[in-house]
Structure 1
Amino acid sequence: MNLNSINKELLIDTINDEHEAGTKYLKYAKEIESLCDDPLKLYSNLEFPDEEKDYNSFTQKVYLSSIMSDISKITPSSKFAVYYGDNRYNKYEVEELLKHHKLINNSNDIQSVTEGYFTFSDYEAEFLQSNFEPLFEMGQLTLSPKPNLMAIVGEKENPNFYTIPAEFDIEEQKWRAPLYNGNQRDIPIRNQDTSNDTQSTIIEEIMIPFISGISAKDFSLILRDEADLISSFRSDLLKITNSNTHQEGREIYQDLIRPRIDKINQKFKSISELHSFKMKGVTVFTAALSLLSLSAGDYMGATSIMVGVGTGTAGLIKFEADYHSEINNLKNDSMYLLWKLNNLSKK
């Protein structure tokens, strides 16, 4: 199965029956990870927010991530997530981890360990489906259940439950519980490097105004129409921001990006106005010749002029072809993508 088919099946199942969805997560989780293991693609991780007040910000991050990466993996929130495990007993690295965090004193404290996943609740699934379905269909987004090890620790009558973030090693086909706390990445350039965190903040400052208020349907149409432009835009934006991390996002936008967008807009207006003028000129000229012939009583002449519009039609076709060619040339500047998003956000 492909990612789109798996995502659609899991979203629908979660909404209808969380238990059935949980069973399928156990079936598909490793397949999702293997499908998202292309070294030539950029991936990003986005966590579903715990609070409703953060949903708008989350939507912006999904859009931004869809531009700055090839596939965005969405993981469930910690607030709504539902846990499903396959009840296999496995203490691999868990004992060391629990001791590291001083949660147990010896291995006898561990009653059992379950390998499983935190998955999306029906509420999260409904939100994702209703707001981002076009992006899922495009393959820009995928669900990414959180692999966890659930350890039951302490006395059987009064146990404690610990869920430990885990990793599944596809090659070795076994689970790992790392001894570090990984940081959530909103866009691919986020990592432990402080300069990259600064760069990602700058990118957010520049991009958020262009993607706010746009529907997923319209946004996905732009991504589909301008698919050939996205990689060059991404590269251009990263290059600009990487060279100017000492400036704020709005300063970089005003100094380096806005002049390019304004230039594209100016060219577009000039091309459109000239195209409109030419089209009107051909129509008016043909009509004027016809009226002159009619006023002179030359009905045959008027008819021949109207028939001659066949030649004019060829001219109209050329005007249209030239117009579309000039519009297409605007894409030579990668900031055409921002210009197009800007026009859409203003509607």
Structure 2
Amino acid sequence: MKYNSYSPDKLDFDPIENQKKKRGKKLANIKKNEILKEKGLHKDLSSSSLKIYGSEYFFNYELSWLKFNERVLAEALNPKNKLLERIKFIGIVCSNLDEFFQKRVGGLKRQQLAGVKTLSVDGMSASDQLKEIRHEVLKMIEIYRGCFFKDLVPAMAEKGIYIKEYSQLSNYQKRVSDRFFQKQIYPIVTPLAVDESHPFPFISNQSLSFALELENPRNKEKHFARIKIPANRPRLIQVHRRGNKVILVPIEDLIRTKIDQFFPGMKVLSAHMFRVTRNASVEREEEEADDLLETIEDELRERKFSEIVRMELEADMPKHIKKYLLKNLNINW
């Protein structure tokens, strides 16, 4: 008898299981098992009609979507397109990334947290895909920000459309801005300070906010506060228009300039913007749903309160404020 043969005399011998293993060895995907071995994972002995596997045969689904978004970005970079169309393409790129993080990255993070070891058909685990996505997205952000601020903003100025900070405005334009702030912004903004009796506020999906550090001049105690930038007001406020010349001020710059007015008696030490994107990868059987509209409403409601998959911060935000946000938003990835 050969050393590796099976004997019916053995107590653990099961002829049916033995046949399954032999069949599995014959029909298993060899390329897949090579990749599993490289990653230190167990072999997949199940039969498979697919005999090819890995990145030399397949493109990753998530990364191929980012390649599609690069094609949209290419339209923004193309100087042959009209100026405002190029700006619209930048907006499309950003909204596409929001949806990508909500649906695709959200699903991958759930797989990662659940400890799913299954590889995609191109041989990547959920963790591998998340690392590669971060690398590609950071490159994309650098490109579209460079395009907007270095190319499109100067090009708009040549056409008479100026985006200015509050400090760059004339006295008359500042008065227009002040009046807009007092009538359109200040009445609808609710500043939220955090202390023993006021817990950390809920940060809704895709909302743009200020994270503030305050100091009480009397006892030198420091506090955290949050101001949500109202989404029902224009992001760019028109403060001047004459002929073909238009001057716009970002709403966040106007709020930052007037931020002391929200906290009378307190000293504002810092004010930096941040934004969160929440998971929206909620699986639902739409065909089996009794009420499709109700199903969609439930999904949108869950999207608002689901876990965070991305947080965007101003580059110069202090480290201790970053740590404070990460801790209170339960971000540990």
Q: TM-score range by the shorter chain?
A: under 0.3
What is the TM-score when the length of structure 2 is the normalising length? 0.23
What is the TM-score when the length of structure 1 is the normalising length? 0.23
- Greater per-residue helix proportion: 1
Tell me which structure has the larger Cα radius of gyration.
1
